[in-house]
A and B are shown apart, each in its own frame.
Chain A
């Protein structure tokens, strides 16, 4: 996986989270996975198509999702309702949008699918056999892990 693909999403994450939450995240230790996997309770998946293809997952605990949604909505949420889910999905959509802009500026043309929110732990998503990089963004409301599994379209392997 190319560093510019990873950086696009990490920098996008920093910019969007700073604006939405009013605090600068800290980047945690990066880890590598042989395939896309998340053990988080709340996950938003965004598919990437075009010159680069694959999947990006924004994972966090339910408590972190509650806190982020509360900050975005401007009032503490009592239950993780449709509005809270929409806020979390839209935050990930904004991060992905900023990443696309950075990739576009580098001459890489791609598009994203609408974000899908999945609640539940130990989720393995089988798409292409593309390794993944997990970048934790530590926030004052908890940690959001960005799992990035992208590859150039010409080198993408087809599933058996």
Chain B
């Protein structure tokens, strides 16, 4: 059975590109969320193996969503995706429980390297 991934990003383009990269390598994208609040709800619904989480999103940002998910499931695996390579935000995300981060714009091999490191091949 393919490893299951939830994508959370407010940009339709990023969600579409991540889905294409992940499904192209055999992973199953269980759902998409356009903000942190949706991501928390959809994590509860699907219990995915991994979450790809944008940092800057409306309603609830990615760091708050990581904290909320981590509080419910301390073993969750989350990769932060950010257009802003600001050290403070990345450090905050890691402190909050994210396992890795990728900086946009990213190439498919960088995404897959990070995903495989955390949950293994599809």
Contact = CB atoms under 8 A, between A and B. Distances in A.
Most buried by A among B17, B56, B82, B83: B83
Interface residues of B, number: 20
B85 A97 contact: yes
| Consensus secondary structure, chain B interface | loop
Nearest to A91: B105
Interface in B83-119: 83-88, 104-105, 107
Contact of B13 (A72, A101, A114): A72
Given A97-B83, A97-B85, A100-B84, A83 B12 contact: yes
B13 A94 contact: no
Contacts of A91: 105
A57 to B, nearest CB: 18
A74 B16 CA distance: 11
A72 B16 CA distance: 11
| Consensus secondary structure, chain A interface | helix
A87 interface: yes
Interface residues of A, number: 22
Interface in B13-53: 13-14, 16-17, 20
Given A86-B12, A87-B13, A89-B11, A104 B86 contact: yes
B121 interface: no
B4 to A, nearest CB: 24
A83 B13 contact: yes
20 contacts: A16-B105, A19-B105, A19-B107, A72-B17, A82-B12, A86-B13, A86-B14, A86-B16, A87-B13, A89-B11, A93-B83, A94-B104, A96-B83, A97-B84, A98-B83, A98-B85, A100-B84, A101-B84, A101-B85, A104-B88
Interface of B: 10-14, 16-17, 20, 56, 58, 82-88, 104-105, 107
